Amino acid sequence: MQRGLDAARTPVAVHLGTCALAGKGAAGASAEMARRALSDQVEACAVCRSDTELGMIDG
């Protein structure tokens, strides 16, 4: 889970754990937490396609 730089560290993107774009500071999240974030309109990474991998959309 990639977090923003705001004080609340709001989630800004969902990556797979193997995604190179996740960055070293990305917080780990369970599959359930990632699905919840995606359903709450947090952006899925366009590179690793976390939404497709988690079964949120058909790829």
How many whole angstroms separate alpha carbon 29 and alpha carbon 36?
11
Q: pTM, whole model, 2 decimals? A: 0.82
Tell me what the pLDDT averaged over the chain comes to.
88
Read off the DSSP letter of residue 40.
T
- Quickly count: other Cβ atoms within 10 Å of residue 36's Cβ: 14
pLDDT of residue 25: 66
